[in-house]
Amino acid sequence: MKLTIKRDKINASKIEQEYFFFISYLRSLTTSAIDRVTLFRILPQKKAFPNIAKVMKKIYVLSEKWRYGQAAACESVSRNLRSKVLRVFLFKLAQSIRAGEPIKDFIEREYKNYMIILPEQNRRKMQRLKTLADAYSSFFTSGILLTVTFLLATTLTNMSNAIEILVIAVMSLGIALATLSFLIYNTAMPEDIFVEDKIKPRKRVILNLIGTISVITAFLLGSISFMITPSYALSLAGLPLLLSGFLGKRYVDKVKKCEEEYKNFLRNFMAGMGGGTSTVLSLKNALLVKYGAGLGSILKGLYSKLVFRINPRIAWNAFEIEVGSKLVRRINEIIVDVIYEGGDIEQVSKIVDDVYTTFLELRSRRYQIVSYLKGLLIPLHSTMGLLFGVICSFFSVLNEFLTALSLTINIINIPNLFFLEMFFLFAITLFSIANAMALYFMEGDSRFSFILYIGLFLFLGNTTYQIAYNLTEQYLSSIRF
């Protein structure tokens, strides 16, 4: 009987983001004498890789509930996966099961092969990301110059629909930049740094509320200001976003510091476990070292729960939620399952340290490219605002000058000043959104990053525009007669 499985709808990028931790988890758990049946039973329950867990649940249901062979279940599910890396893994697993190979030998070989090719894969990924960053900044610069050139060219013609053409050109440029942003996202494949759970730390709940309020406030301030004085609307709209994004970014940085401190804790904790001491005693000895970023107090809470005989898995899960880091949860699940399901502590300690170091190193390389792109876009965005302000002020003063002298120059077609200012504000808004998307899609830490970047670009673009407009107007007004 041929087994037919409906095509999987899980995004391939989500599976590939989780695969590194999935294969590391399997390698750690198979340091013990665990059998395939137990392994297939455990995997669907894991929160460390929820998308892969859904795939493994299908295999478990087919093999245990519908009594299909494990090899047939793996092979059938693999045919309908979008992710190439997991599809190949399951196909090889099916072949290994049919050949009667021990699961431990198969996982060890796959883990070693993956860790060999991972550095080269990520090196190529970083090269592509750097190329896309250069392409984005070049396209943005060229688009601004073409927009300004076209605007100045229309002043020497009698084009009645110049503003409409400019709007279409800028929107086309915005769509092109958005397309490059999505290419950046598909290359970088960043993940949210926070744990995805119904229960969240209190501070994160408060910051989410502040973020929501800031978006509503920005919309109201921008709308009211636009009806009264459009010139400052974007700056007022960007200010609350900038402030709430800054607060959220500080919280993200604190979680990252917790991740770094957690690595030090793991080394101390696993050294105690490797020496044969109990979990509680190893945790107590590890707490003799001070840990920054608030991790020490969270670990003391975990120790108290374990001392009072609270279910260990519940205690460790509460610890993961309180820290709020997805990376900590993934590593923690490996440690907890090895402790309570069995495993070689010394081997797992080395595996976990390699996984942690590798992941932080890869993320650090991506952040370097984010900083590089940020260093390009912020000055370019400011220059764009200055350039737009100078041009708009020049046409405003020129119009006043010609009106005062009752002159008409047929070769110069001065555009409608109100629509010209609206066009520049529209362009600043569009480019602010595009630039914020590009940085967020490359960094991907949290939604606070997007709020921060869009607030920064709106405030910076409009403020530099207004400063350039006022200074240019003052200077030209002083020399026009």
d(CA 331, CA 356): 8
Please, is 133 exposed, middle or buried when counting C-beta atoms within 10 Å of its C-beta (0-12, 13-18, 19+)? buried
d(CA 183, CA 85): 20
Cα–Cα nearest to 307, from 280, 268, 288, 272: 280
Q: Kindly state the tokens that stand for 340.
A: 């309570």
Residues 292, 297, 300, 305: is their CA dihedral positive or negative?
negative
Cα–Cα nearest to 77, from 63, 93, 90: 90
**Within 13 A of 360's CA, how many CA atoms are on the CB side?**
18
Those residues with Cβ within 8 angstroms of residue 235's Cβ, 6 or more apart along the chain or in another chain: 458, 459, 462, 463, 466
Please, is 410 exposed, middle or buried when counting C-beta atoms within 10 Å of its C-beta (0-12, 13-18, 19+)? exposed
Cα–Cα nearest to 24, from 114, 119, 85: 114
For the chain, the three-class secondary structure string (H helix, E strand, C coil) is CCCCCCCCCCCHHHHHHHHHHHHHHHHHHCCCCCCHHHHHHHHHHCCCCHHHHHHHHHHHHHHHHCCCCHHHHHHHHHCCCCCHHHHHHHHHHHHHHHHCCCHHHHHHHHHHHHHHHHHHHHHHHHHHHHHHHHHHHHHHHHHHHHHHHHHHHHCCCCCCCHHHHHHHHHHHHHHHHHHHHHHHHHHHCCCCCECCCCCCCHHHHHHHHHHHHHHHHHHHHHHHHHHHCHHHHHHHHHHHHHHHHHHHHHHHHHHHHHHHHHHHHHHHHHHHHHCCCCHHHHHHHHCCCCCCCCHHHHHHHHHHHHHCCCCHHHHHHHHHHHHCEHHHHHHHHHHHHHHHHCCCHHHHHHHHHHHHHHHHHHHHHHHHHHHHHHHHHHHHHHHHHHHHHHHHHHHHHHHHHHHHCCCCCCCCCCCCHHHHHHHHHHHHHHHHHHHHHHHHHHHCCCHHHHHHHHHHHHHHHHHHHHHHHHHHHHHHHHHCC
Cα–Cα nearest to 59, from 91, 99, 32, 85: 91
Please, is 401 exposed, middle or buried when counting C-beta atoms within 10 Å of its C-beta (0-12, 13-18, 19+)? middle
Residue bearing tokens 């979680």:
255
Find out whether 293 and 314 touch, Cβ atoms under 8 Å: no
Residue 126, CA distances (Å) to 113, 129, 180, 372, 382 in order: 21, 5, 16, 12, 27
Angle at 137 between CA 366 and CA 418, to 5 degrees: 130
pTM of the model: 0.88
Cα–Cα nearest to 305, from 293, 294, 296, 317: 317
d(CA 80, CA 474): 67
Find out whether 189 and 450 touch, Cβ atoms under 8 Å: no
pLDDT at 243: 94
Ordered per-residue pLDDT tens for the chain, 481 residues? 455 555 556 677 888 888 999 999 999 988 888 888 888 888 888 888 889 999 999 998 988 888 788 888 888 898 888 888 999 999 999 999 999 888 899 999 999 999 989 888 889 999 999 999 999 999 899 888 888 887 777 665 655 566 677 778 888 888 889 899 999 998 888 888 888 777 788 888 899 999 999 999 999 988 888 888 888 889 999 999 999 999 999 999 999 999 888 988 988 888 888 777 888 898 898 888 888 878 888 999 999 998 988 888 889 988 988 888 889 998 988 888 888 877 788 888 889 888 888 888 888 999 999 999 999 999 999 999 999 999 888 888 877 776 666 555 555 566 677 878 888 888 899 999 999 999 999 998 888 999 999 999 999 999 999 999 999 888 887 775 4
CB atoms within 10 A of CB 479: 7
